[in-house]
Structure 1
Amino acid sequence: MKFATKAIHAGVEPEPHTGAVMTPIFQTSTYAQEAPGKHKGYEYSRTHNPTRTALQKNLAALENGKFAFVFGSGLAATDTLLRLFRPGDEVLVTDDLYGGTYRLFVRVIQHFGLKFKFIPMQDAQSIESHITPQTKLIWIETPTNPLMNIIDIEAIAKIAKKHNITLAVDNTFASPYLQNPLDLGADVVMHSATKYLGGHSDVVMGVLITNREDLAQEFGFLQNAVGAVPAPMDCFLMLRGIKTLHLRMQRHCENGAKIAHWLRSHPRVEKVFWCGFPDHPNHEVAKRQMRDFGGMVSFILKGDDLEEAKRVMSSFKVFTLAESLGGVESLCTHPATMTHASIPKEQREKAGLKDTLIRLSVGVEDAEDLIDDLKQAIG
């Protein structure tokens, strides 16, 4: 089954009693049992819910995985994965990553005895020198947030397997339309489904997807035992959003390319971060592991003037200054004070994230209107 067909049909069947084409919202907390312990597969909606089941089957299919587990947010999904590890275990993490993930790792999980080592991973082979007997997990984003660094998933997967280390990939920026880390050797894929998967800025959710039965058993246990599950209505909204994922992503990619090239030609723009440029670091890796280059674009103005960057961000009329990304509407974000404010300034700048960097989530509006908006804002 091809991707577009999976997005619409995978895991979704007409409701057997009424023939309803759309998966119903099973807005119930509990289920009748014929006798103690004898039920129809559902006991309590923290454990299982039919709407959630349909969504999980759909998401697994999109990533060519066998098992998917959804959670109340991307951070809840990430937190669940980290509960597999024990005090003293070490996690290697790309040094350019979402600020909320950094905050979870350093200000929450680290207090329970896990160790996190933040390192550049654009040269996949260089990470082997950082591996120790305590290294149990490698966590990567690609493209990274917000510098669009590209990491070679397949190369790192080979290193991880050599050392018996679990590899997890945050695939939020690419979406399963552009990239499938499990096919490249990753053990786990995480999405902040809030972003491209939902696509309409109206639902918050996360997901873990894997082909490994041992991990699936752990995730299923923790999903129930910890209880960070999404509501049936949220699952319905996510299924609704996914049905147009392929159409939306195609337009995100088309518009992203137009915006990136326009910005690069502007005399007031110093640098544009977009992995579709042939001279972008690891562009050849991106071409190999991605089907297109996405709708995320970051840029820095000449002069490196923070006040001027703030003026531009406050001047947009079509782009909305807001957190998040991946919705049909175009968003502008200032990572240093918004999405990445939890990362200390010194560490942000060491990774290449300047306070003047502007991140765009290019939506599906008419590209000419978006360019006109950039034109009037930048001047």
Structure 2
Amino acid sequence: MDNQPPHRHWQTMAIHAGMELVEGDVSPPIHMASTYLFDSAEAAAQAFEGEDQPIYTRWGNPTTQVLERKVAALEGAQAAVATASGMAAVSAAILAVVSQGDHIVATTGLYSGTYHLLIEDLPRFGIETTLADATDPNAFRQAIKPNTRLIYLESPGNPTLALNDIAAITSVAQAHGILSMIDNTFATPINQHPIDLGVDIVVHSATKFLGGHGDALGGIIAGPQSFITRVLKGPIRRLGGCMSPFNAWLIARGICTLPLRMARHNENALQVASWLAEHPAVAWIRYPWHPSHPQYDLACRQMPGGGGGVVVFELKGGYEAGVRLLNRVSLCARTVSLGDVRSLITHPPSTTHHSVPQAARLEAGITEGLIRFAVGLEDVEDIIADLDQALS
């Protein structure tokens, strides 16, 4: 089913996509039901034969479908399915592709949850993963084996903001008949359109920028209708990682302001990155749209909407300086998430990536003084003032 609306401007799509499913309400109603009534035994049988009507919320929900339509429209995908969390989306999407004996090529610099899934969990089921240098498309080509079924990308990467050359890597995947998948959480469809660059499947932690307010957990998988049907009938129904209808309502409401929020995230983050680049306590900064980023030209080409809402930087004092900075901030919140209206600050070596072996962390560029700063929507002068006093 083609979910593309007639409106192509982001703000219009963000508000109106999915609303064709809603009758008589200006806002989508919240269908807080675990199961649904049938008018007759025949109607029940027709539903189980594939007729489009709600049966059981683990199989689909009217409120959740509004969110799915919104994300599919924004990503330029045929369809989407919502999940309980970002990791539920990653897990379900991968499990819909690979089986025992298969091989995955994945980028370095992965989110720690994805790293552990690929490196620790899937090998117990006979599925192996080779990590390829995030910045080198040729490394992906060299890592392919006869049993490779999936190339998995994350761009920008969490937390290093290393970029995958999406078009180059998907060309490699297509030449070998391999499915490609990307985590588009950091960029969002406002800044980066992976499907236009050849990606088959897009996943999100909707908890982050899509929802945008730090109040709802969720994930999204977007792609061809046939693949989304496979995910829904397989991993979602059998493993149970469906989204709560209330969370779907919150995230769908958040998406209505996504283009506006991302414009402010992009603007604030670039100003913060430029300020940090000149600070004497900072060894280096990484932000896709800052000229100091090693892949700046690729970022401008691949992320035409903006550099996103996350800045990373290395403190000259290393691990201790990172801990000290977190203890000194007052406006910025010490937390391990991102994509909120509030500015959130994290020291990955001691928190989100603490469980990743140090050698693997360093190989991925996660150094001891690394700070991940999710720049919020506050006045940028107040954000910089808080960082300034904390670094002094």
The alpha-carbon deviation at position 14 of structure 1 amounts to: 7.6
The CA deviation string for residues 13-43 of structure 1, in whole angstroms up to 9 with x for no partner, is: 4842xx2200000111111112224157112
The alpha-carbon deviation at position 193 of structure 1 amounts to: 0.5
Matched to 1:297, the amino acid is V
The alpha-carbon deviation at position 333 of structure 1 amounts to: 0.4
Is 2:207 aligned against 1:182?
A: no
Q: Which residue of 2 aligns with 1:278?
A: 291
Q: Which residue of 1 aligns with 2:341?
A: 328
Matches within 5 A, 1:66-77: 66-77=78-89
Cα distance 1:231–1:137, how it changes in 2: closer, same or farther (>3 A)? same
Q: 1:55 aligns with which of 55, 61, 67?
A: 67
The CA deviation string for residues 216-256 of structure 1, in whole angstroms up to 9 with x for no partner, is: 22112122232210111011101111111011100000000
Matched to 2:182, the amino acid is V
Distance across 2 between alignment mates of 1:186 and 1:338? 31
Distance across 2 between alignment mates of 1:177 and 1:327? 16
Q: Which SS does the other structure have where 1:104 is aligned?
A: helix
Q: Which SS does the other structure have where 1:108 is aligned?
A: helix
Q: 2:16 aligns with which of 1, 4, 9?
A: 9
Is 2:38 aligned against 1:33?
A: yes
Q: Which SS does the other structure have where 2:350 is aligned?
A: coil
Alignment gaps of 5+ in structure 2: 1-6, 45-51
Matched to 2:314, the amino acid is I
Distance across 2 between alignment mates of 1:108 and 1:132? 20
Is the Cα–Cα contact under 8 Å of residues 13 and 21 in structure 1 kept in the other structure? no
Q: Which SS does the other structure have where 1:191 is aligned?
A: strand
Is 2:155 aligned against 1:142?
A: yes
The alpha-carbon deviation at position 336 of structure 1 amounts to: 1.1
Alignment gaps of 5+ in structure 1: none
Distance across 1 between alignment mates of 2:60 and 2:157? 33
Is 2:312 aligned against 1:298?
A: yes
Q: Which SS does the other structure have where 1:314 is aligned?
A: helix
Is the Cα–Cα contact under 8 Å of residues 285 and 292 in structure 2 kept in the other structure? no
TM-score by length of 2: 0.93
Matched to 1:27, the amino acid is M
**How many aligned residue pairs are there?**
375
The alpha-carbon deviation at position 294 of structure 1 amounts to: 1.1
Matched to 1:124, the amino acid is P
Matched to 1:26, the amino acid is H
Cα distance 1:104–1:369, how it changes in 2: closer, same or farther (>3 A)? same
TM-score by length of 1: 0.96
Is the Cα–Cα contact under 8 Å of residues 150 and 281 in structure 1 kept in the other structure? no
Distance across 1 between alignment mates of 2:42 and 2:174? 41
Is the Cα–Cα contact under 8 Å of residues 104 and 130 in structure 2 kept in the other structure? yes
Q: Which SS does the other structure have where 1:370 is aligned?
A: helix
Is the Cα–Cα contact under 8 Å of residues 100 and 342 in structure 1 kept in the other structure? no
Q: Detail structure 1 runs of 4+ shifted over 6 Å in the superposition.
A: none
Matched to 2:211, the amino acid is G
Matched to 1:86, the amino acid is S
Distance across 2 between alignment mates of 1:15 and 1:359? 39
Q: Which residue of 2 aligns with 1:233?
A: 246
Matched to 2:226, the amino acid is D
Note the aligned Cα RMSD (angstroms). 1.3
